[in-house]
């Protein structure tokens, strides 16, 4: 059992901050692409943190709360995926597939916490009616402290359990390869599902040409040995160039229209 008390404490602290950050503070640091490398640094495996964070971000990129409905929780999923990947030496895809079970559990944890905190909204309403900002701040602080503490406890349990079961999970990968293979396939598939959800929300009909052109360029660059490793970066630069050109063009058109320079002159 490779249990490290310093790792456990640091993991609890950053999870506390991530839990608050998902609804307050920056609302960026808790994202898997940032959180997983930080957790990887704590657990002593930054490369795995980068790999898991990048893959898990694609899974979660299209997930967002709609009204009171919460998506699978990114913070809990990040913690569990990293513990399983680093401590239990699970394959990245298998760790992500397993972590989604716990991320779904985190979804219920947030809903329960919101339900409990709804009882304190009466105090916040009273403080607002009395023009008492300190009272409102106290309610918010209680909410954030409760959420952070709950998530920190879950992180400690995940770390302790993942460390204790490391050998069992390693043996399971050998004796039940079909199970781990299924989890790996699910984890590998989910990143495409996550990106598809994002496209469902954001993609408009006039953007299909750019999307297909991006796929074509990746294939072209990927088959040139000298450019293969940087294919995605090169396509990203091309996308930035197109977006910047469109922005500047539209800006110039609006400015000229506002200055009365638009219209037709001499047949042009």
pLDDT tens-place string over residues 41-52: 999 889 999 989
Q: Tell whether the model's pLDDT for residue 122 goes beyond 60.
A: yes
| Residue spans of beta strands (DSSP E) within 18-130 | none
Q: Say whether 66 sits in a helix, a strand or coil.
A: strand
Mean pLDDT of 13-21: 92
Determine the Cα–Cα distance for residues 16 and 23; give it in Å rounded to an integer.
12
Q: Containing H/E element for 150?
A: helix 133-164
Q: Tell whether the model's pLDDT for residue 224 goes beyond 50.
A: yes
Predicted confidence (pLDDT) per residue in 133-165, tens digit: 888 888 888 888 888 899 999 999 888 887 777
* pLDDT on residue 267: 47
Predicted confidence (pLDDT) per residue in 54-72, tens digit: 888 888 877 776 666 677 8
Determine the Cα–Cα distance for residues 160 and 244; give it in Å rounded to an integer.
48
Please report which confidence band the pLDDT of residue 89 belongs to, taking 50, 70 and 90 as the band edges.
confident
Measure Cα distances from 147 to 13, 78, 116, 120 in Å: 13, 16, 11, 14
Determine the Cα–Cα distance for residues 61 and 53; give it in Å rounded to an integer.
11
Q: Which residue matches tokens 């559990």?
A: 105
Burial of residue 183 (number of CB atoms within 10 Å: 0-12, 13-18, 19+): buried
Mean pLDDT of 87-107: 82
What does the mean pLDDT of the chain come to?
Answer: 81
Least confident of 78-82, 97-101, 178-182, 191-195: 178-182
Q: Is there a contact between 107 and 63 (Cβ–Cβ < 8 Å)? A: no
Dig out the tokens for 3 from the structure: 């249990």
Q: Quick one: what percent of the chain has pLDDT higher than 90?
A: 15
Q: What is the pTM of this model?
A: 0.71
Measure Cα distances from 98 to 15, 29, 40, 125, 158 in Å: 19, 23, 18, 41, 12
């Amino acid at each position: 059992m490779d249990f490290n008390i310093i790792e456990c404490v640091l993991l609890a602290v950053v999870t506390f901050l991530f839990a608050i950050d998902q609804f307050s503070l920056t609302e960026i640091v808790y994202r898997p692409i940032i959180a997983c490398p930080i957790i990887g640094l704590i657990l002593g495996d930054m490369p795995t943190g980068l790999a898991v964070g990048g893959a898990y971000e694609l899974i979660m990129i299209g997930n967002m709360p709609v009204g009171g409905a919460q998506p699978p929780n990114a913070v809990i999923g990040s913690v569990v995926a990293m513990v399983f990947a680093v401590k239990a030496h699970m394959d990245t895809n298998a760790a992500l597939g397993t972590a989604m079970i716990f991320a779904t559990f985190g979804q219920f944890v947030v809903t329960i916490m919101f339900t409990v905190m709804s009882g304190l909204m009466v105090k916040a309403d009273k403080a607002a009616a009395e023009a008492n900002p300190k009272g409102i701040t106290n309610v918010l602080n209680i909410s954030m402290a409760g959420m952070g503490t709950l998530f920190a406890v879950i992180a400690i349990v995940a770390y302790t359990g993942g460390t204790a079961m490391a050998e069992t999970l390693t043996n399971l990968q050998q004796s039940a390869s079909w199970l781990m293979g299924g989890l790996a396939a699910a984890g590998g598939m989910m990143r495409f599902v996550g990106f598809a959800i994002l496209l469902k929300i954001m993609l408009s009909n006039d953007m299909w040409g750019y999307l297909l052109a991006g796929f074509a360029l990746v294939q072209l660059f990927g088959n040139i040995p000298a450019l293969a490793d940087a294919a995605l970066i090169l396509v990203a630069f091309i996308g930035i160039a197109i977006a910047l050109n469109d922005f500047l063009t539209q800006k110039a058109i609006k400015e000229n229209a506002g200055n009365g320079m638009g219209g037709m002159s001499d047949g042009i």
